[in-house]
Amino acid sequence: MLGPRLKKLRTTKKLTQKQLAEKINVTNVSVSGYESGNRFPDTDTLQRLADYFEVTTDYLLGRSDNSHMTADEEFQSFSNNPKLEHFFKDIEASDEQEQEELQQIWEIIKQRKRNEDK
């Protein structure tokens, strides 16, 4: 199930296999293998694919037809990331104005990413 879903997501974003490979830090041969079913990504790569396409790993694997994470799943993914643990604690400790500023900055970053992905 991974292959067809990955190909559909990639082509919807109008990416070549090489472009996707560069974005998730694998070779284009690997992406080709994932799409053809001759190769399976390791768990880190599977998560990078899910993160890049903003879908769940369950969707990529065919365990769910719901492609988008719920707010709880997104929060869980964020809060379980050890690289972001200190950031999460800093946000909790900041005042309301700082949190609003961080939210505005984050929206700018997300918009830039959407523009790059077009």
Cβ–Cβ < 8 Å for 66, 6? no
Quote the pTM value: 0.59
Start-to-end Cα distance in the chain: 26
The answer to whether residue 75 scores a pLDDT higher than 70 is no
Is residue 56 within 8 Å of residue 42, measured between CB atoms? no
pLDDT band, very low/low/confident/very high, at 97 (cuts 50, 70, 90): very high
Domain ranges of the chain: 2-61, 81-117
Read off the amino acid at residue 43: T
CATH 1.10.260.40 fits 2-61, yes or no: yes
pLDDT of res. 14: 94
